[in-house]
Amino acid sequence: MNEPVLTLEALKSWPRSDGKTHLAVLGFPIKHSVSPPMHNAALAKLAETDARFANWRYHRFEVHPNDLPHALDEFLAAGFLGLNLTVPHKVIAFDKVYVTEGAKPIGAVNTLVRDARHPNGWIGFNTDGYGLAKAIEEELNIEIGGSDILLLGAGGAARGAAVQCMQAQCYSLNVLNRSPQAMHELVALAKSVNPKIPARGILPNDLSHIGHSSLVINATSAGLKPDDPQPVDLAALPRPRAVYDMIYNPAETKLLAQARALGIPAANGLGMLVHQGARSLQHWIQAATGRADVRIPVDVMRAAAERALAGH
Ligand code: NDP
C-alpha cells in the first residue's frame, strides 16, 4: 500500500466518527518516510489475531513547521490517537506538549499519545534511544550499558544517542564532531544526565586521544549522499568491537563498507527505525487498550520497511 501524502486540509472533513483509530506521521517533507508502510503492515498482522486492529490506520501528513502548533490541536479535534514526528517537528513539538521525564534531556519528542489528563491533550515520548539500544543489542549483541562508546556527530540524533548512553550507564562516552561548539554542548548535556560517567569531546584531528572504543555509533549525516566523506577512518582508531551506523538509506555507507572490509561486526540504522516504531506502537496500543503485553510484529515491520526502501 502506498499511503498518499495528506495535508492539514484533509482534517477539515476528517470522518471523526467512522469507528476507525487513526495514527499519522508528520514531517516536512514526508513523502520518503517508510513509517506508514511499516506501521500499516504491523497493524494488518495484529488484525489477524485481534479484530480491533482491523480498524486502525496510519497516515502520512506533510505539515509546514509554522503550522505545527495549531496542527496538534487539529489532530486532537479530529480524534487521532497518536502521532509520530520527524524532521523538523521533533524539536518544535517539545515545547508544545507534556514531555515524559526520559525525553526531557533530549529536547525532542518523536511520539505523541492522546492524553486528556494534560491541558494540551498530548503526552510526548522519545523512542529513538530505545530503538538504537534495542537494535545494537539484537544485531551486534552488545549492550550500551557498560560499553565504551565513540559517538560520531553532535546533532539531533547524536543528542538522543548520548542521552541513551548515559541513561543506560555506558562505561565512557567520547563524542567526535567536526564543529567544536556542538561537540562541547553535547558533552555538557551528557555530563548533566549522568555526571559520574566519563564523557569528553574529540575533534577530528585528535584521534590519538581515543584510548579505547568498544562501540562506534555514527549519528552524523555523512554517508547519506554518495560523495559524502566518511565520518571517521576506522583504521585510525583502536580496533572497535562493532560499528552501528544510524543511516539506513543507503544500506551500506562507506563507514560500513570499511567495517566489513576490516572484519568488524557492523549494522545499519534500519533496526533502530523499526524498534523506535515498534515502541511508538506499543505506547498507542497501551493508551487505547490498557494492555502493555501486545507483541509487536517487528519482523513484519522490518520487511515492510525494506520493501518500501527498495521502492516496492
Ligand atoms: P543533524 O543535521 O542534526 O546533525 C548532523 C550531524 O552530522 C552533525 O553533527 C554534523 O556535524 C555532522 N555532519 C554532517 N555532515 C558531515 C560531514 N560531511 N562530515 C562530518 N560530519 C558531518 O542531523 P540528525 O542528527 O537529525 O541526523 C543524523 C543522521 O542520523 C542522519 O543520517 C539521519 O538519517 C540519521 N537518523 C537515523 C534514525 C534511525 O531511526 N535510524 C533516526 C534519526 C536520525 P557539524 O556539527 O560539524 O555540522
Whole-number average pLDDT of the chain: 95
And the C-alpha cell for 232?
A: 571517521
Looking at the annotation, which residues are catalytic?
Answer: 90
Cα angle 225, 40, 4 (rounded to 5 degrees) comes to 65
Atom 7 of ligand 1, residue of closest alpha carbon: 220
When pLDDT is averaged across residues 26-43 and rounded to a whole number, the result is: 96
Q: Please report which confidence band the pLDDT of residue 68 belongs to, taking 50, 70 and 90 as the band edges.
A: very high
CA of 155 to the centre of ligand 1 (A): 6
User: Is residue 26 in contact with ligand 1, taking CB distance under 6 Å?
Assistant: no
And the C-alpha cell for 223?
A: 554517508
Atom 3 of ligand 1, residue of closest alpha carbon: 155
CA of 128 to the centre of ligand 1 (A): 14
Q: Please report which confidence band the pLDDT of residue 312 belongs to, taking 50, 70 and 90 as the band edges.
A: confident
Single out the residue of 232, 248, 119, 103 nearest to residue 111, CA to CA.
103
What share of the chain has pLDDT > 70, as a percent?
100
User: Is residue 297 in contact with ligand 1, taking CB distance under 6 Å?
Assistant: no
User: Is residue 273 in contact with ligand 1, taking CB distance under 6 Å?
Assistant: yes
pLDDT at residue 17 greater than cutoff 90: no
User: Is residue 247 in contact with ligand 1, taking CB distance under 6 Å?
Assistant: yes
Q: Which residues pair with 24 in a beta bridge?
A: 59, 83
Atom 27 of ligand 1, residue of closest alpha carbon: 157
Segment 160-198, tens digit of pLDDT: 999 999 999 999 999 999 999 999 999 999 999 999 999
pLDDT at residue 1 greater than cutoff 70: no
**Predicted TM-score of the model (pTM):** 0.96
Cα–Cα distance for residue pair 8/139, rounded to 1 Å? 38
Q: Which of 221, 249, 302 to mutate to test the pocket of ligand 1 (most atoms within 8 A of CB)?
A: 221
- Please tell me the total number of residues recorded for the chain in this structure: 312
In this predicted structure, what is the pLDDT of residue 16?
82
User: Is residue 221 in contact with ligand 1, taking CB distance under 6 Å?
Assistant: yes
In this predicted structure, what is the pLDDT of residue 188?
98
